[in-house]
Structure formats: structure tokens, C-alpha cells
Amino acid sequence: MIPAIELIGIDKRFGTVHANKDVNLAIAPGSIHGIIGENGAGKSTLMSILFGFYHADKGEIRVKGKPVKIKSSSDAISMGIGMVHQHFMLVDPFTVLENVVLGAENGALIGPALDKARAELTRLAHEYELDVDPDALVGELPVGLQQRVEILKALFKGAETLILDEPTGVLTPDEADHLFRILGTLRDQGKTVILITHKLREIMAITDRVSVMRRGEMVATFETRKTSVEQLADAMVGRHVLLSVDKGKPNPGEVILDVRGLTWKDKKGVPRVDNVSFTVRKGEIVGIAGVSGNGQSELLDVISGIVKPTSGQVIFEGKDIGIMGDPAHVRAEGIAHVPEDRQHRGLIKEFDASESMILGWHHDEALGHGFRLDRAKVIARAKAEMETFDVRPPDPFLKSAKFSGGNQQKIILAREMLSNPDLLIVGQPTRGVDIGAIEFIHKRIIALRDQGKAILLVSVELDEIRSLSDRILVMFAGKIMGVRGPEADERELGLLMAGVVKDAA
Amino acid sequence: MSQRGELPQWVDLGLIPLLNLAVALIVAGLVVVIIGENPFEAMWIMLDGAVGSLKGWGYLLYYATNFVFTGLAVAVAFHAGLFNIGGEGQAYMAGVGATAVGLGLEFLPWPIVIPLAILASMAVGAFWAWIPGILQAKRGSHIVITTIMFNFIAASLVGYLINYWFRPVGKMAVESREITGAYIMSFREVARDFFGVRVASSPLNFSVFLAIIAAVAVWYLLWRTRLGYEIRAFGANSSAAVYAGIKPDRIIVITMAISGALAGLMAVNEILGVQHRLVLGFVGGAGFVGIAVALMGRSHPVGIVLAAMLFGLLYQGGSELSFAKPGINRDMIVVIQGLVILFMGALEYAFRPALAALFFKAED
């Protein structure tokens, strides 16, 4: 059979970085083909080449057996290749119909194109279970539906091959299941799907074949049903990794953090954190699960003092730290905070590593007297912390931006965890972090718990929450929907994340 | 990995600025050719006029002193992500402070009056930048707009003050009485009166040491103190700064005050060091040149000192050139300076991609 897409000897360099090394890939028509690999393995570069964003230095692309030159995304679209980006390319104030037509207006007047699109949308919705109201404003749709609009856009433009880049990052487990059903239907109707992801379970659940990339190279391609999660993980990392977290029983002590009726309203007066109450004890990990954007980020901001609560209290060791609304004070009380967004908050990309490693702790008297900041002491601290957390390269003078995602995260974790906090707040500890580093980070968090420290963990990765937490809170629309133990059923947690409360909790 | 590879430091900090300067001079040379003069001769006159004699050097360093102060002022604000375009007005207002103290405390000996007058310059300059700072911090008014506006307010206000407060009755020139203690700032007069030595006549004065001290102090502040760390953190990434417990309002106000104080020092060079009296429009654009100097010097004190000297050379060499070549008038000099600013500031990275490509090709 002639492959729908064939990449032969694709090679791409960015300066000194060799992003794709002689990559070969053949995608069978009418199949779902997964591409997995760690961050920086070259998956996105490869797909960007296929979609015309970058040009390969060497190599050939064949579509249905014919060699083609793809110079831009419109070339790719005209060859029947469509892409659904991780961050949607939609115009929020436009309707679904207007978004679908965007880029295919065909002439000065929009009317005929809209009519044609409306008819086509009805057909597509029918054929692929892609129901969306064509007149709804895109900005008002939930993310799951916005993603459907992206798929419709590609199909409307005649896509035969659909590339999806990390499509489930923003979806609830339920929405993800629905997406997979849609992808299954697309395949059954003869479309080809390329799924880029780092989630091994998705690969196992939905793909027919899977290719693994590592450091710019295509290392292996498997028939999905003949492989296993363990085999894929090992191929991604290039060594054997432990996927499950080794964790002993918790030994919870007294309550250290007591959040009471906490509410935070945004500028529009919408409660983003809505009457939230919970406690965290010494020696336990409390995980907050939820689809991103349901108030977890705001909750962390309030507890860490970045914003002041609208009402309610944050009692830490008997003191209300909520009313302070000052991260410096909160830190001084013994709370360390690993922010969710490491690039924009956790470190300063322009600073060298040693300077990023004192961010927030730069008033520490051990770093110099009075107004002075002793450079030698700053560097000595950075060196020591980099060694403890195995940051690579262990170079305190290297700019923070130059470290890989996993090592940037280790820089932040080292800074916050080695400040010897009584409570550690961690947001998305392993987002965009390599599997090898995830193992390390999880071990560190559990070790901190075993020292009798309290940990409040927020993650959108349900697996991570389940494997680390001693208790799980589920947030939806700013509210806590329920508290469960770590043994809780995934399906039940998924429903809570979607705001569905079953009785008898 | 999304970024292009980095170039080694000597290329970024050495080769590229030199290349830009060379291109600026070539284009300037072409302009000289167009108006019918010999560019090599013009270049020689400029160089000789600026660095060919002690007097030339004196003028070069005197101009550079002004530009170091205003350049540092822009740079400090820039490290906090603030674009202080008001150096011109801050320096102008500072002149009032220096003169008011210099004349008001005339009865005291100079070792007291001069330091106080210097402090007054800094204080008034700081105050004039503090207002836009507080307006941005508390009211959200953009600092670029307010500092520009404050230049105009300063221009009118100082004009009024000189005319109605400082100008002695019956004096025709729009300027204040002479500050008697200020002669002590001048190299020439000190050399003559205290050591009986005659030195080349130039406006160079003790402010040049103040400029060096200021450059070192700014470096120390930014890279060796907690406040400097907070300023740079806020400028590089304000949300990370907030996460770290740094208070944006506080940083904006303090940084603007420091910036204004540095701009205010320019008045020390001009009023206490050279004019010895408050004169109309004494800043003469040095505040704006400071922006170019900071840009060219990459907001680093070392770069600023070098850039300030280059502009000092252009100023001094330029005026020599317009004396020697009537065909090349004052406006031509402005064109040449403009080209240097264009190529070294605005087009700073114009040659970088090509150079990077060449560099990596050679490496492969």
C-alpha cells in the first residue's frame, strides 16, 4: 500500500541544535499513527516541517507516493494535510461558521462561502459526530468544543491527513474519550490521523501504530497492539524507567494549613475560587485534581500571597496569612511555592542560573550583609543546590533560558525544597518534564513528605495526582467537588472533574 | 532549541558594534562625498580635532561626562523595564537645585557648598523623575508619556525661574548671577591658582571623576545589591518578580528616583563645572543623547562609558569639522551623529543573522 505521508531522510538544524536527524517515517492511509517522545525529541519540529512552518535542510516528503515541496501551511492544506495545534488558532469573537471559513473565503464577498460552509458543516457533523452549533461564538464554547471547531476547520479545507499536537492537554478524561471516538470515526471513514503526544496511555488506547522519537532521531516504530507502555517508555528515554511511584504509608501529623471559606473574585466579580475549605496536615500530600482553568491556579496564588482573598481565611500554623497578601511574608512564615508556570514565574530566563536560584529568597541574610548581595555566596549556594538536585549542566553562570524544561524545573524545585519549608506548594511539578526527570521529582516530593513536611500539590495530570497524593481534592469551577483517597476510581474522579457529583461520596 | 545558536561574546560585544560603526562611517562618508568634500580629509579633521590635542581630549571628556550621566540614567530605568525619556527635563530642573544651593549658601566655604549643591542637583533631578514614577505606580499613567511631558514643563518652568527669580536686576542675558564657589570644580583654575600650572583650555572639570564614580556605583547597585537584583528581576519579568514578593510600585518609584538623580548630575558638570551660573537651555539635548548612549552601551556601565566617549568624539570632532570646512555645517554633523545612532542603536542586529550564518558555516 502506498503510504499517505512518507518522510524520507528529513534533517533539520537550528544553529548548533540538530533537531531532526535523518528521520524516516511512513504513515499508512486510514490509520491512526502516534508519535511520542520527550520534550525536545523533535516531534514538533518534524510536524512543523510537514505542515510547512519550517523547511528541512535535507530529505524528501511524499504525499500519496508523490514527492512534494511544502513551502508554507497553505501548500500543506492544498495537499490535504490539516493540523490541530496545541494552542488553538481560533478567533474568539467570531462564530464557529466564520472561523471555519477563515482562510477559505474565496472572493471579496463572504456570503456564498458561508452558505457553502453551513451545508458542509451539517454534513461533517453528521458523518463524524462533530456536532457544534455553527452560529455559536467560539470564545463562549468550552475547550472541548473549540477543539472540534479546529478539526472541522481542517476537514472543511479538505484534509485527508489530520495532525493533532498534544490534543488532550486541555480536556477532561470524558472529553478526551469523546475526541478519541471522533478520531476513530475519522479513521473508519478513510482519513489518516497523526497524533503527537507524550501520554503513553493515549497511544495505547487509540493508535494503530506508534513511532518513538528520541533526541531528533526516529528510534522505533511499533504495532500498538504488539507493544506495551513499558517498552514505549524505555524506547523514549533510552533506558529502563520506573513508571510507578514507590511510596510508603503517610504518617499525618497535626493540621498545618487550614483554608476556611476562601473566595477570590476576579475583576469582573466572577468567583474563580468559590468558598473553598480544606486542611493539609504535616507529613501528607494533598493533591488538587481538575481540568486546568478551574480555579487551581488562583487558589495557589491566594495561598502563596500573590493575590489577596476576597473573603475567607488561610490559616497557617495558627496565623491568618491570607490577609497579608504578600509573597515575601508568606515565604518568611515557612511556605515554599513552586509555581505552575516556570517560564513566566518560576525563574527569570535572562538571569543566570545562580540568580534564578535565589528568586524570592534574595533577602536571605546568609547571602550578604544589609543591602549587599554577595556574589560568591550566591554562586556557592547555586553550586550546592545544583549538585543536590542533579541539575545539568551544573553551571551556575549559564543563563536560565538555556536549561532544558526538566532542568529548569529542577532549579526551581531545588530552590524551594532546599529552603526547608514547613509547607510546600507545588503547581504542575512535571509539566513538560522528561520521564527520567519525573521519576526524580516524584521521589523528592515523597522524601519531603516523609520528613514530616506538608505538601499541597496541583496537577492537571490525573495519574500524577493519583500516584503522589494521600488525599485528593477535585476542583471544578472554583469549587471543591469532593475529597477522595488515592485509591479512588479514575472514572469517578473524571466525573468530579467535569462537575458531576454522584451521591453517596 | 527554538532559538538560533548563540554567537560567542567577542562577536556580540566586539565585532558587531565595530562593524556597525564602520558601516555608519562609510554611509556618512558617502554623504560627505555627495556634498563635494573629501570624506577622508573630513574624517581626519574630526579625529584630529577630538583626540589630536590635549584640548581636544578635554572637550571630548567634558561632553562624555554629560553623556555618561544621562546614559546611566536611562540605563538604570531600562533595567527595571522603564523607558525614562525625561532625562532632559530632570537635568534641567536639577540645574535649578544646584544654583539655588550654590547661590543661597554662598556665605559658606566651598567644601560645604559644593557637595551640598551636588546633592541638591541629585535631589531635584530625582524629584522630577519621582513624580512620573508615582503616577505610573499609583495611577497607571505611562512613564514614556509623562516623562516627555515633564520635559516641556521643566523647560517652561526653568525659563520662568531664571527670568523672574535668578536673573539679577538690570542684567540683559537670561542667566543667574555667578556661583562664586564653583570655580573650584574647574581643572584649569585649580591648576593655575593652587599649583601655578597652565593646562590646555577646556571645560573639563572634576565632574569627570563623579561620572566614573557614578558608573561604578550603578554597576554595584545593579549587580551587587538586593535592590539592584529586584530592579533587574522586575524589569526582566514582572510576574516572576511579583511571585518573588517584589513590590512593583516600590521598584518603579525608587528606580525612577535613582534615574532622575543620575540625570541631575549632568547639571553638576554643566552648571557647577563649566558655566558657574544657571543659563537658559544648558542641557542642550544631552538628555536625549543619553538614550542613544544607553542603547549603544547595552545599558551596561562599561558600554555606556565607551559609547559616551564615542559621542564625545563626534561632538568635539564635529564642531572642529564645521569650523574647518564651511561646506560641512552644523547640520551635517547632526546627520553623521544620526547615522551612528541609526546603525549602532536602531539597526543593532541588522548584520547579526548574516554574521551568524557565516559563523556557523565556518564551524561546520
Distance from CA of B348 to the nearest CA of A (A): 19
User: Domain ends where: A386, A420, A454?
Assistant: A420
Beta bridge partners of A279: A258
Q: Cα–Cα distance between A223 and A226 in angstroms, integer? A: 5
In this prediction, residue A461 carries a pLDDT of 82
Q: Cα–Cα distance between A354 and A359 in angstroms, integer? A: 9
Beta bridge partners of A483: A473
- A40, A198 Cβ separation under 8 angstroms: no
Beta bridge partners of A80: none
Contact B243 A306 (CB under 8 A): yes
Q: B207 pLDDT exceeds 90?
A: yes
Q: Cα–Cα distance between B294 and B303 in angstroms, integer? A: 8
Contact A359 B240 (CB under 8 A): yes
Q: A260 pLDDT exceeds 80?
A: yes
Q: A328 CB near a chain B CB, below 8 Å?
A: yes
Q: B4 pLDDT exceeds 70?
A: no
The DSSP bridge pattern shows strands A217-223 and A209-214 to be antiparallel
The DSSP secondary-structure symbol of B261 reads H
Q: What is the CA radius of gyration of chain A?
A: 24
Contact A331 B233 (CB under 8 A): no
Beta bridge partners of B358: none
Q: What are phi and psi of A328, to 5 degrees?
A: -65, -40
Q: For the segment A33-70, what is each residue's pLDDT rounded down to a tens digit?
A: 999 887 778 888 899 899 998 889 999 999 999 999 99
Average pLDDT score, chain A: 89
Residues in chain B closer than 8 A to A329 (CB atoms): 245
Domain interval for residue A454: 253-334+422-505
Contact A362 B236 (CB under 8 A): no
- Cβ-Cβ pairs closer than 8 A, A with B, add up to 85
Question: Grid coordinates in use for B304?
Answer: 555606556
- Residue A246 in domain: no
Helix-, strand-, coil-residue percentages of chain A, each rounded to 5: 35, 25, 40
In this prediction, residue B362 carries a pLDDT of 67
Domain ranges of chain B: 1-37+325-364, 56-314
Sheet strand arrangement including A161-165: A81-84, A161-165, A192-197, A32-36, A209-214, A217-223
Q: For the segment A430-441, what is each residue's pLDDT rounded down to a tens digit?
A: 887 777 788 899
- Torsion from C-alpha of B300, B302, B305, B306, nearest 10 degrees: -110
Contact A348 B227 (CB under 8 A): no
Q: H or E segment at A146? A: helix A143-156
Cβ neighbours for A493, distance < 8 A, ≥ 6 positions apart: A173, A289, A462, A466, A472, A474, A484
- A162, A193 Cβ separation under 8 angstroms: yes
Residues in chain B closer than 8 A to A326 (CB atoms): 245
A118 and A79 share one domain: yes
Which amino acid, residue A334?
G
Distance from CA of B152 to the nearest CA of A (A): 36
In this prediction, residue A299 carries a pLDDT of 95
Contact A15 B4 (CB under 8 A): yes
Cβ-based neighbour number of residue B200 at 10 Å: 14
- Residue A344 in domain: no
Highest mean pLDDT of the ranges A128-137, A469-478, B172-181, B346-355: A469-478
Which amino acid, residue B147?
T
A193 and A288 share one domain: no
Contact A373 B229 (CB under 8 A): yes
Contact B236 A351 (CB under 8 A): yes
Q: A9 pLDDT exceeds 50?
A: yes
The DSSP secondary-structure symbol of A399 reads B
Mutation site, A304, A363, A416, interface B, largest B CB count within 10 A: A363
In this prediction, residue B200 carries a pLDDT of 76
Highest mean pLDDT of the ranges A210-224, A426-440, B190-204, B223-237: B223-237
At B37, the pLDDT band (50, 70, 90 cuts) reads confident
Q: What is the widest separation between alpha-carbon atoms in chain A?
A: 74
At B331, the pLDDT band (50, 70, 90 cuts) reads confident
A319 and A382 share one domain: no
A312 and A461 share one domain: yes
Q: Cα–Cα distance between B312 and B314 in angstroms, integer? A: 5
Stretch B313-321: mean pLDDT: 90
Mutation site, B2, B4, B224, B243, interface A, largest A CB count within 10 A: B243
Q: Cα–Cα distance between B324 and B44 in angstroms, integer? A: 11
Highest mean pLDDT of the ranges A301-305, B171-175, B201-205: A301-305
In this prediction, residue A505 carries a pLDDT of 42
A390 and A475 share one domain: no
Stretch A386-407: mean pLDDT: 89
Q: Cα–Cα distance between A275 and A261 in angstroms, integer? A: 4
Closest chain A CA to residue B358: A15
Instruction: Count each helix (H run) and each strand (E run) in chain A, helices first.
Output: 16, 20
Would you call A21 helix, strand, or coil by DSSP?
Answer: strand
**Comparing A372-381, A385-394, B103-112, B197-206, which segment has the lowest mean pLDDT?**
B197-206
Beta bridge partners of A82: A162
Q: B1 pLDDT exceeds 70?
A: no
A270 and A323 share one domain: yes
- A44, A83 Cβ separation under 8 angstroms: no
User: Domain ends where: A207, A237, A267?
Assistant: A237
Q: A504 pLDDT exceeds 60?
A: no
> Among residues A248, A238, A257, which one has the least CA distance to residue A443?
A248
Mutation site, B2, B11, B226, interface A, largest A CB count within 10 A: B226
- Residue A340 in domain: no
A226 and A356 share one domain: no
- A462, A468 Cβ separation under 8 angstroms: no
Residues in chain B closer than 8 A to A342 (CB atoms): none
Q: Quickly list H helices, chain B.
A: 9, 16-34, 39-51, 54-79, 87-104, 110-134, 143-161, 187-195, 207-224, 226-236, 238-243, 248-267, 286-296, 301-324, 330-341, 352-363
Contact A368 B229 (CB under 8 A): no
| Cβ-nearest to B243 among A17, A327, A350 | A327
Residues in chain A closer than 8 A to B231 (CB atoms): none
Cell 555566596 belongs to A377
In this prediction, residue B99 carries a pLDDT of 96
Contact B244 A360 (CB under 8 A): yes
Buried b (16+ CB within 10 A) or exposed e, A174-183: bbbebbbebb
* B interface residues, A as partner, C-beta within 8 Å: 1-6, 223-230, 232-233, 236-237, 239-240, 242-246, 356, 360, 363
In this prediction, residue B330 carries a pLDDT of 77
Q: A12 CB near a chain B CB, below 8 Å?
A: no
In this prediction, residue B364 carries a pLDDT of 56
| Percent of chain A residues topping a pLDDT of 70 | 98
Cβ neighbours for B43, distance < 8 A, ≥ 6 positions apart: B25, B29
Residues in chain A closer than 8 A to B226 (CB atoms): 362-363, 368, 371-373
Distance from CA of B3 to the nearest CA of A (A): 7
Distance from CA of A319 to the nearest CA of B (A): 19
At A115, the pLDDT band (50, 70, 90 cuts) reads confident
Q: A216 CB near a chain B CB, below 8 Å?
A: no
Q: For the segment A177-236, what is each residue's pLDDT rounded down to a tens digit?
A: 889 999 999 999 899 999 998 778 888 889 999 999 988 899 999 999 999 888 888 888
Stretch B64-83: mean pLDDT: 97
Closest chain A CA to residue B220: A372
Contact A359 B360 (CB under 8 A): no
The separation between CA B154 and the C-alpha centre of its own chain, rounded to angstroms, equals 18
- Residue A107 in domain: yes
Contact A372 B4 (CB under 8 A): no
Closest chain B CA to residue A365: B226
**Comparing A118-122, B3-7, B96-100, B215-219, which segment has the lowest mean pLDDT?**
B3-7
Contact A327 B6 (CB under 8 A): no
What is the tally of structural domains in chain A?
A: 3
| Percent of chain B residues topping a pLDDT of 70 | 96
Mutation site, B229, B231, B355, interface A, largest A CB count within 10 A: B229
Q: What are phi and psi of A400, to 5 degrees?
A: -55, -35
Closest chain A CA to residue B2: A14
Q: What are phi and psi of A480, to 5 degrees?
A: -85, 120
- Residue A371 in domain: yes
- B287, B128 Cβ separation under 8 angstroms: no
Which numeric CATH code is attached to B56-314?
Answer: 1.10.3470
Q: A19 CB near a chain B CB, below 8 Å?
A: yes
Q: A243 pLDDT exceeds 90?
A: no
Cβ neighbours for B113, distance < 8 A, ≥ 6 positions apart: B101, B102, B105, B106, B181
At B3, the pLDDT band (50, 70, 90 cuts) reads very low
- B253, B82 Cβ separation under 8 angstroms: no
Cα A470-A473-A475 angle, rounded to 5 deg:
155
A262 and A364 share one domain: no
Q: Cα–Cα distance between A467 and A464 in angstroms, integer? A: 5
Would you call A438 helix, strand, or coil by DSSP?
Answer: helix
Q: Cα–Cα distance between A242 and B356 in angstroms, integer? A: 42
In this prediction, residue A503 carries a pLDDT of 54
The DSSP secondary-structure symbol of A275 reads E
Mutation site, A57, A352, A371, A398, interface B, largest B CB count within 10 A: A371
For residue A320, the domain's CATH number is: 3.40.50.300
Distance from CA of B124 to the nearest CA of A (A): 25
Q: What are phi and psi of B42, to 5 degrees?
A: -60, -45
The DSSP secondary-structure symbol of B7 reads P
| Cβ-nearest to B225 among A14, A345, A372 | A372
Stretch B184-206: mean pLDDT: 84
Q: A267 CB near a chain B CB, below 8 Å?
A: no
Distance from CA of B64 to the nearest CA of A (A): 30
Q: Cα–Cα distance between A379 and B142 in angstroms, integer? A: 37
